[in-house]
């Protein structure tokens, strides 16, 4: 869940920006912010995350509170997922939809209590998300931005033991669950979630305490900082969508292969959600194209925008994200291809610098997810 690069001259800085410079981070413009793309190298940071634990500054993401007795019911009318069944401490990944069922943004919704929802949205989409929420929920629900909170992601198989080393117990959390935790007198929200395919946590913490927590986590064994570059290759291996690439206002959840977020029972009802009629029709009739994985035969990388051709040289798809996979040690990509060619094993050609290179449609994810599905019992 992320954003396209922004080239504005005046860039915002997160509260952790001075620390990134101290740690030797290579800074780039991203979604209106100056953020580290890497510290020691993308491949090293990627593999360290898969083997141990890495720390990411994701404070550029938008954090929004919705307050009101009918907050879940009201937001549910804008998304294709059910939210009213969420209990306190539960999270759900979903998407905001326009009238044509195009995706305005993808987001994480956490129910904090009966009357409060906490949203994490993409930085580049924050203003249009707020405009959508205010247009549909304004007057009924209090919509509150939370700029005074930083957001830190600790990702990797050593994440839980790392937090335990600081006295923060998370055994009571399974994937997509959250709880309030006090860290050095700071009231934080810890959620067992992330966008790498690994077990891990996202931590919303007051700005004034964020640097202390970041330093304390880095001081733990097996933890290193990581930048946007590794975050992107990790989510690509995990087959996770990136807003502005796999997701946009022209792409529906069905086309994107996000059927697992859809509440089909609710979609059958009248006025289920914005764009619900389009989604229901696509579920019944299919879509012209589908999101798929792409494995490259050889070492030539296929980047965003690369055309995909069938064996008769017809253009049948286009790459949305592509990079080298450190775990598979070969180039991989995601793409949208014609629905009749989306079966795993289908052979296509990628046109790179006017030369054709053989590729194969593959199942997603490329690397299996390793989320913590069950609470640990002592």
pLDDT in tens, 195-228: 999 999 999 999 999 999 999 999 999 999 999 9
| Residue 41 reports pLDDT greater than 70 | yes
CB neighbours of 185 closer than 8 A, spacing ≥ 6? Answer: none
DSSP classification of residue 158 = T
pLDDT at site 177: 98
The strand pairing partners of 190, in sequence order, are: 179, 203
Q: In the chain, pLDDT over 70 holds for what percent of residues?
A: 96
Average pLDDT, stretch 309-314? 97
Supply the pTM of this predicted model: 0.95
Region of 43 (left: φ > 0; alpha: ψ -120 to 50; beta: rest) is: alpha
pLDDT at site 9: 67
The shares of helix, strand and coil residues in the chain, as percent rounded to the nearest 5, are 25, 35, 45
pLDDT at site 138: 87
pLDDT at site 3: 44
Q: In the chain, pLDDT over 90 holds for what percent of residues?
A: 94
Average pLDDT, stretch 150-157? 98
Report residue 200: phi and psi, to 5°.
170, -175
pLDDT in tens, 287-300: 999 999 999 999 99
pLDDT at site 4: 42
Average pLDDT, stretch 348-353? 97
Average pLDDT, stretch 149-158? 98
Average pLDDT, stretch 328-332? 98
272 pLDDT tier (thresholds 50, 70, 90): confident
Please, what is the average pLDDT of the chain?
95
pLDDT at site 376: 47
| Residue 179 reports pLDDT greater than 80 | yes
* Token pair 């697992």 in the structure block, residue: 260
| Residue 164 reports pLDDT greater than 50 | yes
Average pLDDT, stretch 112-120? 97
SS3 301: coil
| Residue 254 reports pLDDT greater than 70 | yes
| Residue 36 reports pLDDT greater than 90 | yes
269 pLDDT tier (thresholds 50, 70, 90): confident
List the beta strands (DSSP E) in the chain. 26-30, 33-38, 53-57, 62-67, 91-97, 103-113, 116-121, 142-145, 149-155, 178-183, 186-191, 200-206, 223-225, 289-296, 307-309, 315-325, 330-338, 347-352, 355-362
pLDDT at site 373: 83
Burial label for 127, CB within 10 Å (0-12, 13-18, 19+), is exposed
| Residue 7 reports pLDDT greater than 60 | no
277 pLDDT tier (thresholds 50, 70, 90): very high
């Amino acid at each position: 869940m992320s954003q396209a690069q922004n080239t504005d001259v005046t860039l915002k800085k997160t509260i952790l920006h001075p620390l990134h410079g101290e740690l030797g981070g290579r800074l780039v413009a991203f979604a209106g912010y100056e953020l580290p793309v890497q510290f020691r190298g993308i491949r090293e940071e990627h593999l360290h995350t898969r083997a141990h634990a890495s720390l990411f500054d994701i404070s550029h993401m938008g954090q929004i509170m919705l307050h009101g007795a009918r907050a879940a019911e009201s937001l549910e009318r804008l998304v294709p997922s059910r939210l009213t069944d969420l209990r306190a401490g539960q999270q759900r990944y979903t998407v905001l939809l326009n009238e044509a069922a195009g995706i305005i943004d993808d987001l994480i919704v956490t129910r904090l209590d009966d009357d409060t929802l906490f949203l994490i949205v993409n930085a580049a989409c924050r203003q249009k998300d707020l405009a959508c929420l205010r247009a549909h929920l304004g007057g009924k629900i209090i919509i509150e931005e939370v700029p005074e909170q930083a957001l830190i992601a600790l990702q990797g198989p050593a994440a839980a033991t790392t937090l335990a080393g600081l006295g923060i117990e998370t055994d009571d959390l399974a994937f997509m669950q959250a709880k309030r935790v006090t860290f050095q007198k700071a009231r934080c929200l810890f959620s067992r979630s992330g966008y790498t395919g690994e077990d891990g946590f996202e931590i919303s913490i007051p700005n004034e305490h964020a640097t202390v927590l970041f330093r304390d986590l880095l001081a733990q064994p097996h933890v290193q900082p990581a930048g946007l570059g590794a975050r992107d290759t990790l989510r690509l291996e995990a087959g996770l969508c990136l807003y502005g690439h796999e997701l946009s206002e022209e792409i529906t959840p069905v086309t994107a292969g996000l059927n697992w977020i859809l509440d089909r029972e609710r979609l059958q009802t009248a006025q289920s959600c914005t764009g619900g009629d389009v989604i229901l029709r696509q579920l019944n009739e299919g879509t012209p194209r589908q999101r798929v994985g792409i494995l490259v035969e050889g070492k030539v990388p296929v980047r965003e925008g690369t055309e995909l051709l069938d064996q008769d040289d017809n253009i049948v798809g286009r790459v949305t994200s592509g990079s080298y996979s450190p775990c598979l040690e070969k180039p991989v990509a995601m793409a949208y291809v014609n629905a009749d060619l989306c079966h795993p094993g289908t052979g296509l050609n990628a046109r790179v610098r006017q030369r054709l290179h053989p590729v194969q449609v593959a199942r997603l994810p490329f690397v299996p997810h390793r989320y913590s599905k069950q609470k640990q019992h002592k």
